[in-house]
Amino acid sequence: MAEVAETERNDVREDGRRPPRAVVGSHRVEEEIFGKVFDGKIIRRIWAFVKPYRRQMYLAVFAVLMFTASQIVIPLLIRYAIDHGMAPGAASDHSALRLAIIGFLIAILVNYAASYVQETVVGGVAEEVLFDIRKAMFVHLQRVSLSFMDKTEVGRLMSRLQGDVNSMQEFLETSVLSVGDIALLFGIIVVMLWLDVRLGLLTLSVMPILFIIRLFWLPRARVAFMDAHETNSVTNGALAEAIHGVRAVQGMDRQRVNFNLFDDKAHTNLRAHLTAAKYAQVMVPIVDTLTGMAMAFVIVVGGSMVLSNRLDVGVMVAFLFYIQRFFDPIRSLTMQYSVMQRAMASGQRLTEVLDVPVDIEDAPDATVLPPDMDGSVEFRDVVFGYNPDHPVLKNVSFRVNPGETVALVGPTGSGKSSSMALIHRFYDVQQGQVLVGGYDVRALTQDSLGRQIAMVLQEPFLFTGTVFENIRYHKTEATREEVIEAAKTVGAHEFIMRLAEGYDTMLGERGGGLSLGQRQLVSFARALVADAKILVLDEATANIDSYTEMLIQKALVKLLENRTGLVIAHRLATIREADRIIVLQNGQVIEMGNHAELMANGKLYSKLYNLNYASFDDIPEEALDKSASTDSQTCDMRHET
């Protein structure tokens, strides 16, 4: 959850307020979704993914119906064989038995072929549809606005989506089979009534009992399924968060406390699943009991009818087979109820993710940023806030000339990182303009803008793959020579060559196996290979040791050559060499100039610098307030003069 923690820190740091968190899978929403057993809107959305494979689905439905037909025909063949091939006086006539045997062979072959087709086709289509859903979600989540990711618990979101996709797979695989269950149920009823109306009605007489039981079972089962799904989501979210934050857990010796907290959630989840399983399975013995009752009725009543020659033996035997099969689809459809309910809830949450609006989109007439643009950056009366009612930046205006290196400094919450996010158009301004190369970023294509801006963040993010692949991540067409040259320039080549396989060494998740300083040097090499006109360094040297910082300071000279540089740095020693320094406080520009000019002005920058703090973040709040109030009094006196 490092990204989430960083986002939360930035939210509080920039505007003093944390935006309301969209709690994924909240109990209130889950309860509302679980109230629907069938949602036409969700079915239509799922069908949009199934539609490309509709021919296979039609084939699967046809195979299921053929399988069902063979199941209905087999008892009729048994009845025919008994009544026509085994009845007294028919012993010498083997033609009925031969016909019955041929019919059996055909039914068995149809049964096998239909079963094979339905299992193969349904399983294949389900996997294809799930692949398409996962692909659609991945593509969409790569494009959604950062404002959505800022407000979403990523660990719980990913855990929930994985579980929901599995629920959809179960639904897709069983829904086609449910067509066969319904057809089998009605088929058996029709055949039983055709064979003998009295025995058919006698068999159906147990159905009201089942109906009454379901009236009491459904509401309790719904609550049990809902609780199981909700506690599962909470437990998986806690597990994902604990895994992502394992460093913090071990660093603060929280293993025992975290285990107890997780153990409580896990036991709650266990109890909820046991309750849900009880309600899911309780119908099985009930249905079996009703099956036994129906068979007893048929044996007693049908037997007396056979003895009085009012009913053929074959009909009675066929009835017993049909009764055995009659309650199977009822049992299956009862289980399918919980599957469908989970699927509707899962489908709702999947479509919610797929329907997340993309706030930052290219304009219809968006311009491609020319590769030969000058690299200038300009803010014109920019007003911006993550919450529009609480602006982080208030009428900020400044210009960074081509090839100039400008440092943005200021206390926590002043709006530095927000300014950098606007340059890359991660967010849109509420008022004013942000221009890159003289173009309003809203009028440019995001791809072309991204190619001209390279960013190095405080927490370098390396991906699973080789060192070589990570360095050329921004520019995949870069050659090995370009990668090695960039690594040498930033001082990363030596430690890379000491790795087991050099540039071909596989890195684990987030660059596992490398120190923070080494990961930062790799990210610098990545920025250099990108060969962008604008380089943004967002506190890139905040978490590294002095020796690595010295290496990076040397590399920066080469890195910023012929490039426009925007540097956010808290360490004052890092700032002094910048061409210009922009001082922000409370979302406003209060000073601008180089180090010498700002020291000569005697305003906030010089006063804070003279306090001998290594970083703006180290300065106490009261010192900031005192310096700010002193500047305000000075301005008032000058105004009166």
**What pLDDT score was predicted for residue 33?**
41
pLDDT over threshold 50, residue 328: yes
Rounded to two decimals, the pTM is 0.61
**What pLDDT score was predicted for residue 106?**
92
Q: What residues have CB less than 8 Å from 337, skipping those under 6 apart?
A: 37, 218, 221
Split at pLDDT 50, 70, 90, the class of 609 is confident
User: In 3-state terms, the chain is what percent helix, strand and coil (to 5)?
Assistant: 65, 10, 25
**What pLDDT score was predicted for residue 200?**
85
pLDDT over threshold 90, residue 360: no
Cβ proximity of 590 and 584 under 8 Å: yes
Range in 8-17, 44-53, 399-408, 452-461 the model is least confident about:
8-17
Q: What is the pLDDT of residues 554-564, one digit of tens each?
A: 767 777 777 88
Burial zone of 103 (CB within 10 Å; 0-12 exposed, 13-18 middle, 19+ buried): middle
Split at pLDDT 50, 70, 90, the class of 573 is low
| DSSP-derived 3-state class of residue 365 | coil
Cα 348 to Cα 45: distance, rounded to the nearest angstrom: 9
Maximum average pLDDT range among 81-90, 463-472, 602-611: 463-472
**What pLDDT score was predicted for residue 6?**
37
**What pLDDT score was predicted for residue 619?**
56
Mean pLDDT score, 376-382? 90
Q: Which has more pLDDT, 95 or 608?
A: 95
Mean pLDDT score, 304-329? 84
Q: Tally the residues of the chain.
A: 641
Q: What is the pLDDT of residues 491-504, one digit of tens each?
A: 788 888 888 888 88
CA torsion sign, 211 to 213 to 216 to 221?
negative
pLDDT over threshold 80, residue 71: yes
pLDDT over threshold 50, residue 352: yes
pLDDT over threshold 60, residue 441: yes
- In the chain the domains, ranked by start, together with CATH numbers, are 2-21+37-354 (1.20.1560.10)
Mean pLDDT score, 121-134? 85
Split at pLDDT 50, 70, 90, the class of 148 is low
pLDDT over threshold 50, residue 20: no
Q: What is the pLDDT of residues 419-435, one digit of tens each?
A: 888 888 888 888 899 99
With a pLDDT cut of 70, the percent of the chain lying above it is 78
The DSSP secondary structure of 568-634, one letter per residue, reads E-SBHHHHTTSSEEEEEETTEEEEEE-HHHHHHHTSHHHHHHTTT-SBGGGS-HHHHHHHHHHHHHH
Cα 578 to Cα 405: distance, rounded to the nearest angstrom: 5
Cα 119 to Cα 126: distance, rounded to the nearest angstrom: 11
pLDDT over threshold 90, residue 130: no
Split at pLDDT 50, 70, 90, the class of 66 is very high
**What pLDDT score was predicted for residue 641?**
36
Q: What is the pLDDT of residues 273-302, one digit of tens each?
A: 888 888 777 777 877 788 788 888 888 888
Could you write out the three-class secondary structure of 434-470? EEECCEEHHHECHHHHHHCEEEECCCCCCCCEEHHHH
